[in-house]
């Protein structure tokens, strides 16, 4: 039996979430008041890892933080949520990334990120033995980590050779290039591509989500598109399937897409078919919006199944429990291994 259900590779940083801002942002040293501000765990990969651990998977995280208080916050928060941080490297020179998220009253948000050690994250931060020890490898924030992006195809090839499945959430490209020469070699070895509707459009050149998914599916992966209040859809290269969103009264949508990713991966690892996995993922994304920050309201597996409800098409036996952990409690026990330093 492999040591981990899921290896998550990518970004981890503190988020300062501020808002909602009811009017336009004003410069000129104007002070504007908002209702809420909080310091929470951020980074698409980190939020996804926490969501998967909350759903009962044994999760390891590979990436970098700086040797600073922000890095200590990230490490402690991940471990406190049941993620193994024994492979999270400490960069002795570059700082931990930092993000400020400014939310608006209509649910939109602006995101400002200082990349810190993200630009130095590379293949050496993803140990080969760790890849071989994992049932599934998920990567996020592709365009924020150019060194890792250039080598991610090799990471996914090794995962496939070891019998693991793979998934990728590219997230936004701040440069707006959406570089196919960089991405296409990775998609050849990606089982599931998990963009939101805007990202799918940018990656494919198609405005409509189903058309975008069809174009992207021709490049290799099964494509799963998060479409906000319209729910979500999956395209396996043959035909699309769609599920509605789960109705909630949202407090904060930060990280909802990452919780969606966690739900989809957890469901597929437990043997659910694509449409049922999509329903679980949509439930996880919606339920995560019930509190401020990306991780505070992430659901348990039972909560996700209950919310998915009629969207499930026959949950296989054993899907109500972690299907590869000998003791479910072990999936929430962080490693105490000494962490590594990288320059």
Residues 64-105 have pLDDT tens digits of 999 999 999 999 999 999 999 999 999 999 999 999 999 887
Instruction: Dump pLDDT digits (tens) for 6-65.
Output: 999 999 999 999 999 998 899 999 999 999 999 999 999 999 999 999 999 999 999 999
pLDDT at 316: 59
Which residues have a Cβ under 8 Å from the Cβ of 275 and sit 6 or more positions away?
234, 241, 243, 311, 313
Mean pLDDT, to the nearest integer, of 200-214?
A: 97
| Structure-token match 């952990």, residue found | 325
pLDDT at 335: 38
Identify the bridge partners of residue 149 per DSSP, sorted by sequence position. Answer: none
pLDDT at 325: 39
Instruction: Dump pLDDT digits (tens) for 286-299.
Output: 999 999 889 999 99
Separation between Cα atoms, residue 56 and residue 2, nearest integer Å:
15
Distance of CA 201 to the CA centre of its chain: 19
Closest listed residue to residue 21, CA positions, set 106, 99, 105: 105
pTM over 0.85: yes
3-state secondary structure of 202: helix
Closest listed residue to residue 225, CA positions, set 246, 250, 252, 204: 204
Identify the bridge partners of residue 104 per DSSP, sorted by sequence position. Answer: 21
The percentage of the chain sitting over the pLDDT mark of 70, rounded to a whole number, equals: 90
Residues marked active site are found at 258
Q: Is 173 exposed, middle or buried (0-12, 13-18, 19+ CB in 10 A)?
A: middle
């Amino acid at each position: 039996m492999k040591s981990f259900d899921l290896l998550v590779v990518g970004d981890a940083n503190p988020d300062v979430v501020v808002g909602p801002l009811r009017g336009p942002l004003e410069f000129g040293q104007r002070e504007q008041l908002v209702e809420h501000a909080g310091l929470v765990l951020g980074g698409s990969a980190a939020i996804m890892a926490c969501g998967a651990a909350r759903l009962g998977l044994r999760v390891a995280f590979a990436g970098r933080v700086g040797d600073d208080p922000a890095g200590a916050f990230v490490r402690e928060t991940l471990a406190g949520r049941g993620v193994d941080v024994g492979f999270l490297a400490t960069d002795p020179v570059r700082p931990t990334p930092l993000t400020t998220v400014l939310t608006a009253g209509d649910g939109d948000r602006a995101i400002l990120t200082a990349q810190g050690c993200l630009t130095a994250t590379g293949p050496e931060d993803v140990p080969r033995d760790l890849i071989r020890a994992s049932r599934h490898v998920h990567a996020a924030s592709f365009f924020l980590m150019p060194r890792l992006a250039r080598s991610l195809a090799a990471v996914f090839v090794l995962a496939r050779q070891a019998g693991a499945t793979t998934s990728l959430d590219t997230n936004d490209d701040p440069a707006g290039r959406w570089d196919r020469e960089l991405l296409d070699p990775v998609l050849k070895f990606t089982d599931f591509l998990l963009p939101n509707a805007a990202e799918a459009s940018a990656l494919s050149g198609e405005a409509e989500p189903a058309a975008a998914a069809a174009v992207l599916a021709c490049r290799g992966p099964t494509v799963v598109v998060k479409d906000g209040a319209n729910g979500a859809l999956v395209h396996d290269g043959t035909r699309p399937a769609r599920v509605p969103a789960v109705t909630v009264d949202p407090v904060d949508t930060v990280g909802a897409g990452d919780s969606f990713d966690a739900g989809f991966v957890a469901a597929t690892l437990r043997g659910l078919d694509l449409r049922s996995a999509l329903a679980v993922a949509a439930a996880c994304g919606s339920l995560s919006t019930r509190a401020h920050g990306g991780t505070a309201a992430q659901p348990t597996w039972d909560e996700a199944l209950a919310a998915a409800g009629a969207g499930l098409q026959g949950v296989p036996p054993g899907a109500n429990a972690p299907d590869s952990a000998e003791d479910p409690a072990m999936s929430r026990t962080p490693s105490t291994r000494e962490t590594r330093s990288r320059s």
